[in-house]
Each structure stands twice: as structure tokens, then as C-alpha cells.
Structure 1
Amino acid sequence: MRDLQDSRKEIDIIDEQIIRLFEKRMDICKDVAAYKLHTGKPVLDRKRELDKLKTLKAQASNKFYGHGVEELFEQIMSMSRKMQYKLLTEEGVNSDIGFDIVDDLPKEDVTVAYQGIPGAYSQQAATEYFGDKSSYVNVSTFREAMKYVRDGKADYAVLPFENSSAGIVTDVYDLLVEFHNYIVDTFDVKIEHCLCGIKGSKIEDIKDVYSHPQAFMQSNAFIEEHGWGKVNLANTAISARYISEQSDKSRGCIASANAAKIYGLDILHKGINFNATNTTKFIIISRNKIARRNADLICISFEMPHESGTLYQMLSHIIYNDLNMTRIESRPVPEKKWEYRFYVEFEGKSTQAGAINALSGINAESINMRILGNY
């Protein structure tokens, strides 16, 4: 049996040789990038890569080594592409992703759409963000809010994006792809759900509770403890208005203290959501492709070939450019069975070279990539 230290010394020598050969290969790839820059040829040539991998794999002495060779050279080719994207960006190719940089969003004399009616948390988010010198229009659905922005009926829309207890608002994610509007900022609202009833009612009177499904999820423990029936309505404030119109002590709702005040309800119990730090993140939507100067998050969506390892390949563009991914979500692609659209958020600016490199790579190697906002 060979001495362990002798084996390790030999491995060290081989590793040094691999490094030198790797660097030599990457240097030659710079010439490839120069050629592609001159001719306009795309960085990714998937057929060439697959043919090359097949040839290299066949040169291995056994099946196990063949799999290793294939994986090794897939990574080498991936790193080569990333370097080529970087070089092309440095030469001014794909260096502008089209965002106009602004110091801040105007918060006077603008029209803001939100889903729901007065008393909704969306209204609270909109008025707290834009203040009292803007105009507000309430609409029935998230889709309608998106249409108002797209069609110029509103300058901005304020939509719920994620709740710290109940997770993402899936409908909004889907609409971000359907409508070519952009996320331009986010705003957090602390959520405190209240059990509300008509004047003079008590908790003991309640048999059924009305609210939005998200509010039910966030207050589920409290509701189950009392064994009440649940009735879904489109909005917590709509629930408050409905209860105020019924004059029925057996019907309660989950809504905000502000909604209770607006619709003349008694608050029977405050803070029924199980998480005291319950917060909803709202997104500010614009039809204009703008980014605030201090924006530091980028959100994209994309689909991928239905092949092993493709998600890692997409995310590796973020990793390789020293960017920090802060969110990843997936949603089914309606027209493609068992295929998914991914939503990825990472730290970066639309003017940052590393972010542009990552976006260039993902755009070239994914399907239907869209930049949803820099905020």
C-alpha cells in the first residue's frame, strides 16, 4: 500500500497541472468571445456543447469516469460562457438593460390604484406610501389594478406580494408575467387582524366568520379554537362592509381596526393573527421601466428546458457574478404540463456589471426571461 502523503503529493502536482490547463483553456475562450463579438454569433451553442460532451465522455476508461468527465466539462463550459458574457458586457454588448434611473418616485398629483375598498390593507399601504397629495382609485381585482396601470388610468398600483405568515400571493406573481408593468418599489405593512362584529355583539354570538383566504390562513388557530364556519370574500374590508350591512350578531369578520372604524363595527378581539410580527410586503407597480437610484434588488422570471441540472445552470449565473439571491419561487406554466416558471430575486442594480452579466447569461440560456423590476 502506498504511503498516504506520497499519494497526496502526486495529487497536488496533478491539480497544479489541471489549473494551468484550465487557465490556458479559458484564455483561448477569450479569442472565441472576440470572434463572437465580431460576427454576432451567440455565446451558447448547445448542439456544439452536447456533441463535445458526448465525445469527451466516450474517451473515459469506464462508465463511472465517463459521468465524471461529463459533469466536469459541463462546468468548464459553463464557466467559459460566463467569462464570454462578461467580456461582451465590457465591450458594450447588452450593457444597457433599459431602465431609466430616477432619484425617487413622485408622490404628489399621481393616481394610485389598489384592490379592495376603503379600509383594505392595500389602501393603507397605498396611502402610507404616497401620502395625502395623491389620488386613489379602488378596483375589484388585482388584474383590474394591473390594467389601470397598463392603460394609463393610474400611474401606479399597490399590490400585496408576500405575507410573512401565509407566504406569496400567487395571483400577483402570475400577473407580473402577463402584464408588462414593472415593480419599482416595495413597502411593508404590519398586519393586525381583528375579529369584528356589529354594534353590541359579543364573541359568544359569533357562528360564522367572513374574510379573505389570506386572513383566514393568518388567523387559523384562533378560528379553529372557536369552531366557527369560514366564508371567503374578496377582501378584508369588503368583509367588514358586508357584516355592517347584515345586522346579524352571529356573523363576524376578520379585518383591520381601520376597517372596523370605517364601517361602524365593534372590535371583539384584537391581534387574532397567530404571528405578532405578521407583515405584508406590497409592491409598487408602474408601466414605466424605471428604477430608483438606490434600488438594490432585481426580480426576474424565466422558464427552462425540461432537462436535469438546468435550474442550477440558471442560478449559477447569479452565484458566479458574486450576487446574493434573496428569493426563488415557482409557478406552473398554464400551457405546459408539469413545467414551471421560476421567479428569482437577487441583490443588484440595473447599472451593475455583475448583474448585467448574470441577466445576459440567464436570458441567453433560459426561455422567456423577463426583468420584472429593479427596486
Structure 2
Amino acid sequence: MALKAMVAFGCSSPHDLGSKPSELALSWINGSGEVCKWIRFGGFSSFSACRAIRSVEDGNTSKRGTELQRVIEQTGNDVSMRLQKDLSSLPKPLSVSDLSSTADDGSKVRISFKGFPGSYSEDAALKAYPKCETVPCYEFEDAIKAVELWLADKAVLPIENSSGGSIHRNYDLLLRHRLHIVGEVQLAFNLCLLALPGVRAEHLKRVISHPQALSSSDILLSKLGVARENMDDTAGAAQYVASNCLRDAGVVASARAAEIYGLNILAEGIQDDSDTVTRFLVLARDPIIPRTNKPFKTSIVFTLDEGPGVLFKALAVFALRDINLTKIESRPQRKQPLRVVDDSDTGSAKYFDYLFYIDFEASMAEPRAQTALGHLQEFATFLRILGCYAMETIL
């Protein structure tokens, strides 16, 4: 007998079937009053199955029609629910606001830094990304290369200290490598005097730490009358004293380093200036999208031709547009440290050829920042944007 009614059809994706191929289902009522279902899986052979529906031989079609309607509605509901489930599982398209406002707790981020576990650079990484996985490196350049080689997602580098000034080595690295500044971290230092358990301050003959940490705690160390020994990293000094059981040596490092290496804290907050702050930069392979919904900072580097008032003109492009400069740093060019009067062998050295690093308070999403840089580019011989990133406002 001919096909009397088509009920429904639907296609299931491979996600619904696990490892099975796609499925096509078709249901109908055959001439014997049975509900039949024909199913085809991808390229496999199809099969059909029929389920009997009670019917009245005397030709009572109303009951049969009711049963047919129930089958249609049930099948339609099953298909609808399955489609809704499929659609809800699809990823939603991202917008610019999604990219910029999504909270990043750092749970899947690997952050490289110079030093041993427990160093202040690692503290800065954990402040920026509390749940990140930190990657210790021997040198600043190693931390940068870890990101370039995809061994880490971001790198944290100190760039300046409120008492010690700029870290020039890292300014040079910003230009040498192509990573982008995507954030900054300001970390207030709490320098601690550490020693092995049972060792008191008067037992110490020497104190080992990073030169900056030693100079920042000059008052206390002078009172103790101890010798000072430089080491490249505060946490590395703590590890060295602990691993070698040096009972005559103390360490200037963080409280977290004391916890990691099993040292006692003899004194806390020993820095001469209680407001000492170090600013760190967060570097990544890709820049972030500039926004205007919160304070942003932009970092650039450029060079200028020699001439009267050229630097004044460069700085004026920001002043004319009410853009505040927060940092100006000059560095001699490594490849061309000296400029000569002429190109002959008899030319004499006249002055250094400088790179100028500038941080200013404006986002690249603002027209005034774009206009200022366009103006600067008219007479700058070289200009590069190092990054545009949200300002750190909490110590």
C-alpha cells in the first residue's frame, strides 16, 4: 500500500552520535496501521522498523487519527529538543567587548621571569595573574625568548625602581625583540632579613642578596656591621644559603622566599625607604585591543635627526593635545653610538645618537593619541609603538 503520511525527519551531527556517522531518520504510517522508522547512518546500509498501532477494524478513523497526531507531536518534540541542545552547545561569536572585559585569572597562563622561585619578579607575575604557572629563567633575555619560542605565554620584566631608577638592560631588550607590552605591575617591596633556623642577627658575618636589595637596606646592614656579597637574584641568594647551610650568612629577600627555602625571618620591612616601588612590564607575542573605558598608557620609542629644538618639537606634539608624559628615557643606539661630522675617516665624534623611550597617558583608541603620533612621525627618523595597555593603579 502507498505511503500515507510523513511524520518528521532530522539530521544528527557526529557530536550527538559519538563516533558514529551522521544519522537521517524518517517516520511514517504504513497501510497496516504501523508506525515505521527508516534510519540511515552515513554511508552504511539503512534499515527500518515498524511498531503496531491499535486500530478498529470497523473503520473508526478518529481513534487512529488521534494516535497519528500523538506520534507526530512526540517525534516533532524530540527533534526540536535535540536541535535546541545542538544550538546551545555551539560557541557564541566574540565581540570586542568580550575580548577586553573577560576576566583573566591566569589559570591557564604560563608567565616567564628572571630568577628563582620566590623572587620579586615572580611576586609581580602572581599579582598580575594569581593562578598562573610561573616559569623561572636565568636571564631577562631567556624570559623573553621563552615567550618567543611558545614555552611561555607572557613574560614579566622589571623596568624601573623608585629608588634605583631605570633598568637600562631591559629597555634595550624591548627594542631588540618584537614582543608587545600588554600590561604593567607596580609592586611595593617588603625586604626581609632571612637566616637559617636558630641563627640570630648578631651571629651574621655577611649578608648576600641582589645589589639593589642590599643598597635599599643600607641603614640596617650598616648597624649590623656585616659584609655584603652581591648575587644576581634575591631568591637565588636564599636558595644558596639554605642549600649550603651557611650559618654565618643572612639574606635580604622576600617573606615568600623564606617560606620556600625554610629560612627564618629576622626582620621585616628593612628597606630604607618604606615607599619603594618597582614597576614591571608584562610582555606577550600579540598586542591587546586598546580601549577607552579605563585609563590606558602607551609606550613608544623613536629617534630624531640632530638640530636645534628637535626634541622640544617631539615633546610638543603631546603637550599640544593635553597628553601627559609619565616617563622619558634616552639610550644610545647600540649599532651607531656615535655620530660624526662627515663620512670621511678624518671626521671627529660630535655627539651620541640616541633612542628616546616615552610613556604617555592615552589609549591608541583615542583620536588625540593617533594624531599626536602622526605628527611625531613627520620628523622622527624611526618610530615604533611598544604597546598600549591598561595602567596599574593599585600597589
TM-score when normalising by structure 1: 0.69
| Greater displacement, 270-279 / 161-170 | 161-170
* SS of structure 2 residue aligned to 1:180: coil
Q: Which has the larger radius of gyration?
A: 2
**Once the 2 structures are TM-superposed, how far is the Cα of residue 157 of structure 1 from its aligned partner?**
0.9
Counterpart in 2 of 1:277?
Answer: 275
**Once the 2 structures are TM-superposed, how far is the Cα of residue 196 of structure 1 from its aligned partner?**
1.1
Counterpart in 2 of 1:158?
Answer: 156
Counterpart in 2 of 1:299?
Answer: 299
Question: Which of 204, 207, 212 is 2:202 aligned to?
Answer: 204
Counterpart in 2 of 1:330?
Answer: 330
Q: Deviations over 1:286-323 (max 9, x none)?
A: 11022453351111111222333221111111111221
Where is the strand percentage greater, Structure 1 or Structure 2?
2
Distance verdict in 2 for CA 1:108–1:266, change over 3 Å = closer
C-alpha contact 1:184 1:291 (8 A) present in aligned 2: no
| Greater displacement, 123-132 / 312-321 | 123-132
Question: Which of 368, 372, 375 is 1:358 aligned to?
Answer: 372
Q: Deviations over 1:179-236 (max 9, x none)?
A: 1111111122221111111121122222222111221232223323433322221211
Counterpart in 2 of 1:116?
Answer: 115
Distance verdict in 2 for CA 1:242–1:304, change over 3 Å = same
Distance verdict in 2 for CA 1:204–1:104, change over 3 Å = same
- Percent identical residues: 34
Aligned letter for 2:230?
N
* SS of structure 1 residue aligned to 2:107: coil
Counterpart in 1 of 2:142?
Answer: 144
| Greater displacement, 224-233 / 317-326 | 224-233
Q: Deviations over 1:59-99 (max 9, x none)?
A: xxxxxxxxxxxxxxxxxxxxxxxxxxxxxxxxxxxxxxxxx
C-alpha contact 2:202 2:224 (8 A) present in aligned 1: no
Aligned letter for 2:357?
Y
* SS of structure 1 residue aligned to 2:242: helix
How many corresponding residue pairs? 275
* SS of structure 1 residue aligned to 2:163: coil
**Once the 2 structures are TM-superposed, how far is the Cα of residue 105 of structure 1 from its aligned partner?**
7.0
Q: Deviations over 1:26-50 (max 9, x none)?
A: xxxxxxxxxxxxxxxxxxxxxxxxx
Residue 339 (str. 1) matches residue 353 (str. 2): yes
Distance verdict in 2 for CA 1:331–1:237, change over 3 Å = same
C-alpha contact 1:156 1:286 (8 A) present in aligned 2: yes
C-alpha contact 2:290 2:365 (8 A) present in aligned 1: no
TM-score when normalising by structure 2: 0.66
C-alpha contact 1:184 1:292 (8 A) present in aligned 2: no
Aligned letter for 1:235?
D
Query: What 5-or-longer segments of structure 2 have no aligned partner?
Result: 1-98, 339-351, 390-395
C-alpha contact 2:115 2:236 (8 A) present in aligned 1: yes
Distance verdict in 2 for CA 1:366–1:226, change over 3 Å = farther
C-alpha contact 1:333 1:341 (8 A) present in aligned 2: yes
Counterpart in 1 of 2:251?
Answer: 253
Cα separation, 1, equivalents of 2:103 and 2:152: 14
Superposition pairs of residues 62-81 of structure 1, within 5 angstroms? none
C-alpha contact 1:119 1:258 (8 A) present in aligned 2: yes
**Once the 2 structures are TM-superposed, how far is the Cα of residue 350 of structure 1 from its aligned partner?**
0.9
Cα separation, 1, equivalents of 2:295 and 2:154: 17
Counterpart in 1 of 2:101?
Answer: 103
**Once the 2 structures are TM-superposed, how far is the Cα of residue 102 of structure 1 from its aligned partner?**
3.1
| CA root-mean-square deviation | 1.9
Residue 182 (str. 1) matches residue 180 (str. 2): yes
**Once the 2 structures are TM-superposed, how far is the Cα of residue 140 of structure 1 from its aligned partner?**
1.0
Cα separation, 2, equivalents of 1:197 and 1:203: 8
Residue 224 (str. 1) matches residue 222 (str. 2): yes
Query: What 5-or-longer segments of structure 1 have no aligned partner?
Result: 1-100
Cα separation, 2, equivalents of 1:310 and 1:229: 48
Cα separation, 1, equivalents of 2:290 and 2:130: 18
Counterpart in 2 of 1:135?
Answer: 133
Higher relative contact order (CA 8 A, sep 6+): 1
C-alpha contact 2:290 2:363 (8 A) present in aligned 1: no
* SS of structure 2 residue aligned to 1:299: strand
C-alpha contact 2:295 2:361 (8 A) present in aligned 1: no
Distance verdict in 2 for CA 1:306–1:216, change over 3 Å = farther
